Amino acid sequence: MIDFIKSRIASFGHAFRGWAYVIRNEKNAWIHAVVTTLVMIMGLWLNIPLHDWAILILVITMVWAAEFFNTSIEAVVDLASPMHHPLAKVGKDVGAAAVLISACAAVLIGVIILGPPLLNRMAPYFIHP
């Protein structure tokens, strides 16, 4: 049982080191972090319902997971093919496309969820009696 607990703790350590690597080394991760923070602040400010929070958390996680998968693909490709190779480029480009697709979907979902309450909140500033 002790070995199991130690190995689980070690697994969390590996995961947190991977997370730190992405944050330290991937410029796009900073964009994801800023957008994630802004979306969370806006969701709190707009007091969105719980089911909308669930959807936002899911799509935010989807974008972060895609970024992490892409980073791991890039590292493995660089290890396996240090020289430029057309298939290495394909692997990296497809990984980047996965991040782009998930980010675009997240933006659309964010607009669908946050747009109407944001417009309602901002309407008094644009409508003159």
Question: What pLDDT is recorded for position 25?
Answer: 94
H/E/C letters for each residue in the chain? CHHHHHHHHHHHHHHHHHHHHHHHHCHHHHHHHHHHHHHHHHHHHHCCCHHHHHHHHHHHHHHHHHHHHHHHHHHHHHHHCCCCCHHHHHHHHHHHHHHHHHHHHHHHHHHHHHHHHHHHHHHHHHCCC
Q: Is residue 17 part of a domain?
A: no
Q: Is residue 7 part of a domain?
A: no
Q: Is residue 50 part of a domain?
A: yes
Instruction: State the total domains in the chain.
Output: 1
Q: Is residue 77 part of a domain?
A: yes
Question: What pLDDT is recorded for position 129?
Answer: 63
Question: What pLDDT is recorded for position 126?
Answer: 82
Q: Is residue 46 part of a domain?
A: yes
Tell me the pTM: 0.88
Q: Is residue 19 part of a domain?
A: no
Higher pLDDT, 103 or 3: 103
- By residue range, what is the domain housing residue 58? 27-126
CA distance 106 to 112: 10
Question: What pLDDT is recorded for position 124?
Answer: 84
Residues 92-97 have a mean pLDDT of 96
CA distance 102 to 27: 17
pLDDT tens per residue, range 112-126: 999 999 999 998 888
Q: What is the CATH number of the domain that holds 55?
A: 1.10.287.3610
Q: Is residue 121 part of a domain?
A: yes
pLDDT tens per residue, range 13-65: 999 999 999 999 999 999 999 999 999 999 999 999 999 999 999 999 999 99
Q: Is residue 22 part of a domain?
A: no
